[in-house]
Every structure is written in structure tokens, then in C-alpha cells.
Amino acid sequence: MDQPRDATDRFLPRFDAAGLMTAIVTDADSGVLLMVAHMNQDAIDRTRATGQAHFWSRSRAALWRKGETSGNGLTLVEMRVDCDQDALLLRVVPAGPACHTGRRSCFYRRVESDGGLTFLADDA
């Protein structure tokens, strides 16, 4: 590589030892954080080729397209990479709730100082 990752104009994803990158997913219109998942090269390639978010499931050890069973897919608006190219930001248009619980976001609980959890309003 001729330039450091933070100065190049080439997409050179840096994967961890398991071949994965963290992917942060936000609603393109509102900016709400919807979910965090992992992507391998195949998931990145399929997402870019189809415009639908694909991820790698660590628990199932399988590639999956968000919404393939629920119908709540995520249409890609923009994919960004961080400065050292080891994390992605996917800005998407959700076709329904992003969380498998039926909530808009997977981040629907706040951790309190006493270790308790407070459920937030669905749009928080």
C-alpha cells in the first residue's frame, strides 16, 4: 500500500482474526442507531451488489440478509468506512423494525448506575 489507510482513496477493509468487521447501522433519514452487526468480505460484496444489507452471523456461522425471514430489510443508502478501515457505517432505509424483538432499534434499554435497565421509548 502506497499510503496509510487514513489517507488513501481506496477501500481496503481490515478484518479481525475471524475475518470480520463491525458494522454500525443507522437510519439514513433520522440518524437513529438501529443495530450493530458484523460483516465479512462476502457480506460487504453482497451488500454493495444488491443494495440490501447482508451480515455474518457469528452464532449461526452463516451469511444472512437482514429481513430475509421478517421482511424488515435494510436498503443501503451509503456505506462509510472509518479512518483505519476496520469498522463500517451503513446508512439505510429500514422496511420495518430493525430489531428481532420488533422494536425500531436494538438499543431500547439504558444501563443505569445501579446495573438496572430502563426501557426507552421506541423512538429513543
Q: pLDDT tens string for the chain (124 positions)?
A: 557 889 999 999 999 999 999 999 999 999 999 999 999 999 999 999 999 999 999 999 999 999 999 999 999 999 999 999 999 999 999 999 999 999 999 999 999 999 999 999 875 4
Q: Is the CATH number of domain 21-96+104-119 3.10.20.810?
A: yes
Q: Give pLDDT, residue 121.
A: 85
Domain ranges of the chain: 21-96+104-119
Which pTM value belongs to this model? 0.92
pLDDT at position 4, please?
85
Helix, coil or strand: residue 46? helix
CA distance to 12, 43, 123, per residue, from 9 (Å): 9, 21, 36
Side chain identity, residue 40: N
